[in-house]
């Protein structure tokens, strides 16, 4: 299973991220390319412990099961998978290229990842290995969303 902690995987993702332009259209979902970059940046900030996202109740009920289903194989995350309010980006008033570069910089922070007490707002307590696989799958999912 690919993990964001593998330097080759991070390089592959960064190269794909570089291809993204503001004119890319989503193949599914409601976000435009800029909103997607901001959404993924929020996710990375959460994984790194730089942003706290409040837990969602349903996660207490099915979060561990859903994580197991998501990480059980190499399959990409399903199209149109739901997200929670803190990850919804409806307005962007910043520079696209600067935000893309921030996303890529956040990617490189995984080389020195150290957040052993990470708790996801839906999936709940996660191991470092879980984080590595989910962070990869999340970035890959959204790059696929825009045909990259």
d(CA 66, CA 108): 27
Q: What is the pLDDT of residue 144?
A: 97
Which of the four pLDDT bands, split at 50, 70 and 90, describes residue 56?
A: confident
Q: What is the mean pLDDT of residues 15-27?
A: 97
Task: Output the CA–CA distances (angstroms, integers) from residue 72 to 12, 57, 65, in the order listed.
Answer: 22, 23, 10
Task: Output the CA–CA distances (angstroms, integers) from residue 131 to 29, 74, 137, in the order listed.
Answer: 24, 15, 10
d(CA 138, CA 24): 18
d(CA 101, CA 8): 18
Q: What is the pLDDT of residue 84?
A: 73
DSSP tag of 30: S
Which of the four pLDDT bands, split at 50, 70 and 90, describes residue 126?
A: very high
Task: Work out the angle between the directed axes of helices 96-108 and 7-18 (0-180°, nearest 10).
Answer: 170
Q: What is the pLDDT of residue 25?
A: 96
Largest Cα–Cα separation, the chain = 39
Whether the per-residue pLDDT at 117 is higher than 80: the answer is yes
Taking phi over 0 as left and psi of -120 to 50 as alpha, with beta for the rest, 80 belongs to left
Whether the per-residue pLDDT at 71 is higher than 90: the answer is yes
Q: What is the pLDDT of residue 69?
A: 95
d(CA 68, CA 126): 11
């Amino acid at each position: 299973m690919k993990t964001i902690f593998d330097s080759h995987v991070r390089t592959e993702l960064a190269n794909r991220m570089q291809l993204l332009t503001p004119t890319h259209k989503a193949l599914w979902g409601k976000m435009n390319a800029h909103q997607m970059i901001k959404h993924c940046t929020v996710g990375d900030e959460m994984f790194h412990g730089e942003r706290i996202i409040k837990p969602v109740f349903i996660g207490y009920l099915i979060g561990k099961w859903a994580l197991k289903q998501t990480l059980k194989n190499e399959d990409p995350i399903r199209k149109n998978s739901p997200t929670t309010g803190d990850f919804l980006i409806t307005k962007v008033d910043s520079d696209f290229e600067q935000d893309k570069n921030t996303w890529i910089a956040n990617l490189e922070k995984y080389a020195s990842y150290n957040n052993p007490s990470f708790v996801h707002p839906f999936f709940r307590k996660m191991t470092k290995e879980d984080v590595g696989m989910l962070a990869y799958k999340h970035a890959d999912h959204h790059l696929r969303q825009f045909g990259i």
